[in-house]
Amino acid sequence: MTQETGILEPKEPNIGHPKGLYVLFLAEMWERFCYYGMRVLLTLYLIKVLMKGDNEAFAIYGAYTALVYAAPVLGGKIADKILGYRIAVILGGVLMALGEFMILGGTDAWLFLGMGAIIVGNGYFKANISSIVGKLYRDGDPRRDSGFTIFYIGINVGALLATTVCAEVGDKFGYHYGFALAGFGMLLGLLIFVLGQNRFRHVAEPPNPEALKAKYFGPFNQLWTVILASLLAIPLLYVLIVYNAVVGYLLIAVGLYVIYGLLSRGFKEGKVLRDRMIVFIILMFFNITFWACFEQAGTSLTLFAERNVDRQIGNFEMGAPTTQFFNPLFIILFGSVFSVMWIYLNRIKKNPSIPAKFGLGILQLGLGYLVIQLGYQFVSPEYLVPLWTLVILYLLHTTGELFLSPIGLSMVTKLVPKDMTGTAMGAWFLSFSASNFLAGVLAKFTGAEVEEGAVADPSASLAQYLDVYTSMGLITVGIGIFLVLISKPLNKMMHGIT
């Protein structure tokens, strides 16, 4: 029985993984089905239904996804200090489902309100379910990296279902059907989480359950005060999405606050924690580089598939949003291989350091963009490159992702003290926020002239994509090599964390 919660703590075997991991796997799978089910359709919905231009659509998309990933900074802190991880995840799931159903209103206003609800919900859900996974393992448990990789496969099973089922339904029958499916997926994930909560409840309860129920603001206790404040945040986020240029300045301000908080704690507690916090912040910036280029998938790469990729497979034409399914498919195919590989390399003492893995991941990302030069050699008279161009691009992006993303999640839970796990996880997702905002900025370099939702000049469009993606590939290859070269001194500053 844990002293903090008074709940019987289940004994876990020394082999295999905690049973709670598989409940969280399924809950996260359906939450990602919800999020990606909406995201996979968003850019084309903005351009083809709401008749936005490329640059306006990219700006809305970038602001929305940036706010989605910024929200866990606050959501993690609220869970750490007030709600606990379990209640935060439940509240987040309810708000995300509500947001998906708001979008069915079919107007700009309903879309932006729905986005606001999804942003708040994701803030509570995303960082805190990852924190629960980390807390299922004791310090030094060699299963932790493997556990996070398994959890990451769950994320991508949900993404695969979203980028096939939601994408094809939305593309072929109407976008509102795809958004509705995403909402029902979230409800299913929420049900699984609630029914299985006893498998992880011992590590996910509020820090002070009595205070949570006590009166806090007028007639409201802490719980209801948080719920009301969350609902009031939705119209504020609506305004930020409409006036999306403000989001960049907001991210800079929040980023400086978070970095100050991390460094203050590090310098306060001595050299070891100080060095670890410095490495954590450095890797956050490299994480931004990776994901700013990777997250072209939902914007410019989807439009590239729509305008300049031959998607015909026999008698079947793959929808442009469906091309995003290659990434989660490859994660599922190779995720378990990587999970076993890290354990094996660790056993024979050949496991690359965390900074080296990050560098190798960025290197592979850059090589993926350079593949478009190869596809261009087989361009058709209609200015379409073969579908295999995207297949190989997403393959290299995926192997790069497996070197970086699940390792990053595990790294957060290792580097920081237990009492700030949610806050640090929120800071980690803030780097994703910055990268998504930058992804929207980068996508504007590929913007083409659009007439009634269709590109005006396919030849000029292809030339633009080729130029931008080649530059992106060369720059990221260089950054990846640089990080590999400096990985040894960074690894020393982690003081034994691997």
The alpha-helical segments, DSSP class H, found in 79-166 are 85-103, 108-135, 143-161
Which residue ranges in the chain fall short of pLDDT 50? 1-13
pLDDT of amino acid 14: 52
Distance (Å, whole) CA 248 – CA 235: 19
The partner residues of 217 in beta bridges, in order of sequence, read 220
- Say which DSSP state 448 is in: -
Question: N- to C-terminal Cα distance for the chain?
Answer: 30
* Burial classification of residue 435, based on how many CB atoms lie within 10 Å of its CB (0-12 exposed, 13-18 middle, 19 or more buried): buried
pLDDT at 325: 93
The domain covering 20-492 belongs, at the CATH homologous superfamily level, to: MFS general substrate transporter like domains (1.20.1250.20)
Q: Is the pTM of this model over 0.95?
A: no
Domain definitions of the chain by residue range: 20-492
pLDDT at 346: 85
- Residues with Cβ within 8 Å of residue 166, at least 6 apart in sequence: 33, 36, 37, 38, 40, 41, 178, 181, 182
pLDDT, position 340: 85
- Using DSSP, state whether 450 is helix, strand or coil: strand
